Structure 1
Amino acid sequence: MRSSIRPGYNPLIRKLESIFTLTDDERQALEHLPMQTTAIKEGQDIVREGDRLSRSCLILSGFACTYKTTAQGKRQIVSFVIAGDIPDLQSLHLKVLDNSFSTISPCSVGFVTHDALRDLCTCYPRIASAFWRETLIDAAIFREWVMNVGRRDAYHRMAHILCELMVRMKAAGLAEGHVCDLPITQVEFADALGLTTVHVNRVFQQLRGDGLIVTQGTRLTIPDWDKLREVGEFDPMYLHLEHAEAAA
């Protein structure tokens, strides 16, 4: 995944407009939101559990994940983070971060001070509403992940998460049809789905053998979208997208 940003593409505006209708003035305000941009290598923590933050991070390009670890050091990934996401937006109101964020691929990250975000929300209350909606959708995704890991077997579990990622990538303008770049390793899928890497490898082989996915390097193609949705019991309602075609 390239770390550069396409000309004319604003990940934050694209993300918010997938779940909320913005005015021209609000788009302009978001365009001029002050931020410090940093390139971060893959496998690096952006922020850690227990941090007290004075700024939030916006993923401008690349992939990251939200995770927690047990006392024995075992990692549980609780969400995947793509361009346009602000994974620590809750730090605006919560003093101590209760999870960590790490890059999966090289990322371009924009750091925005909480003061700048509060000023933005004060001047543009509808943007505050959009951010609130964003955090509510994050909570809906967490609930769906609990359901997925707790009540589906490995085959259906993987189908569901691949459907979710494809829909979110399409909404973010990062997929064409049902094809996208997905640089998530089998280790990371294992940590997200509560499986071993051996089991993840076996499930991928089964999905490929059944003609539901095609993988080439980091490139994912879903040739039979309706069938994969059926296998994963995937209903995009919990993503609360403004445009239904993004889920098709």
Structure 2
Amino acid sequence: MTDALVKKLEHFVRLSSHDKEILARAAAERVRKLGSHEPIVLEGDKPAVIYLVLDGWACRYKHLEDGRRQIVSFFLPGDLCDLNVFILREMDHSIASLGNVTVAEISRPNFEAILEGHSRIAQALWWDSLVTIAIQREWTVNLGQRDALERVAHLFCELFIRLRTAGQTRGKSCDFPVTQTELADATGMSTVHVNRTLQELRNMRLINLANRTLTIHDLSRLMQTGLFNPNYLHLDHEGAHLDANE
């Protein structure tokens, strides 16, 4: 069940068969299944484990005092939630499932043993954490500078490429268990505005979104529409070409 994680990490560092076995053991330490829209961890909780998404999607979000919500990131299969979370006294955000989700809970001793004893895995995880920070910067640019059409197009491009990197796409399609309300919470738009933007993208024959499936008919044109440059995902890092036997 760590295939998505391994495929993603190998864009940064070539992992050996032993490295992959170590990751598989860590992911099997404790597995938890959640239904749709269930909390994984809540703001104010004391961090106890690192979560690895094995299957399904989750989101990181913040609630304002008046109940409004901002989704600040999506977690996809193969994503680790907060590598340095044990530094915190309490969670400053919440994470919840989107649809059915399976997560692995990796304990602090197990995770620290992996970092200390397996340098190649540690290198890949640090690269992955830097990409996570880069994605957050890009989301800030998305909210601050792109218009509605560009925001949604950019988000679709990012999510599709991240899923493709982890081996989670099917040709031009991928699972997309995100409602229009959740898209609105992620893009800083109203649900009505999101609906109109989706209709515009459909009329441009760029995407189709139905039955929890996103189909991108022309990725190149969608990237142009969203002013999308994938450089912040760092998928061409030279570390991916390292020999696993070094």
Whether the 8 Å contact between 2:201 and 2:207 is mirrored in structure 1 is: yes
The answer on 1:55 being equivalent to 2:55 is: no
The answer on 1:239 being equivalent to 2:203 is: no
| TM-score normalised over the length of structure 2 | 0.91
Higher relative contact order (CA 8 A, sep 6+): 2
Of 179, 192, 211, which aligns to 1:198? Answer: 192
The answer on 1:120 being equivalent to 2:108 is: no
Whether the 8 Å contact between 1:141 and 1:238 is mirrored in structure 2 is: yes
- What value does the CA root-mean-square deviation take over the aligned residues? 1.7
1:127-166 C-alpha deviation (Å, 9 max, x unpaired): 2222222211111000000000110110111000000011
1:50-98 C-alpha deviation (Å, 9 max, x unpaired): 2222211111100110111112121100111111111132214333322
The answer on 1:64 being equivalent to 2:58 is: yes
- Partner Cα distance (1:46, 1:141) in 2: 22
The answer on 1:80 being equivalent to 2:74 is: yes
3-state DSSP of counterpart to 1:98: coil
| Structure 2 residue aligned with 1:25 | 18
Whether the 8 Å contact between 2:54 and 2:103 is mirrored in structure 1 is: yes
Q: Which runs of 5+ in 1 are unaligned?
A: none
Whether the 8 Å contact between 1:59 and 1:110 is mirrored in structure 2 is: yes
- Partner Cα distance (2:45, 2:128) in 1: 22
Whether the 8 Å contact between 1:66 and 1:77 is mirrored in structure 2 is: yes
| Structure 1 residue aligned with 2:95 | 101
Tell me by how many angstroms 1:243 deviates: 7.7
Whether the 8 Å contact between 1:190 and 1:196 is mirrored in structure 2 is: yes
| Structure 2 residue aligned with 1:41 | 35
| Structure 1 residue aligned with 2:131 | 137
- Partner Cα distance (1:242, 1:13) in 2: 16
| TM-score normalised over the length of structure 1 | 0.90
Whether the 8 Å contact between 2:150 and 2:227 is mirrored in structure 1 is: yes
3-state DSSP of counterpart to 1:221: strand
Residue identity matched to 1:28: E
Whether the 8 Å contact between 2:5 and 2:166 is mirrored in structure 1 is: no
- Partner Cα distance (2:31, 2:20) in 1: 19
Tell me by how many angstroms 1:216 deviates: 2.7
3-state DSSP of counterpart to 1:104: strand
Of 135, 158, 169, which aligns to 2:152? Answer: 158
* Alignment coverage as a number of residue pairs: 237
Distance verdict in 2 for CA 1:243–1:123, change over 3 Å:
closer
Whether the 8 Å contact between 2:47 and 2:88 is mirrored in structure 1 is: no
Relative to structure 2, which stretch is displaced further, 89-98 or 153-162?
89-98
Aligned-pair identity in percent equals 39
Q: Which runs of 5+ in 2 are unaligned?
A: 239-246
Residue identity matched to 1:220: L
Tell me by how many angstroms 1:227 deviates: 0.8
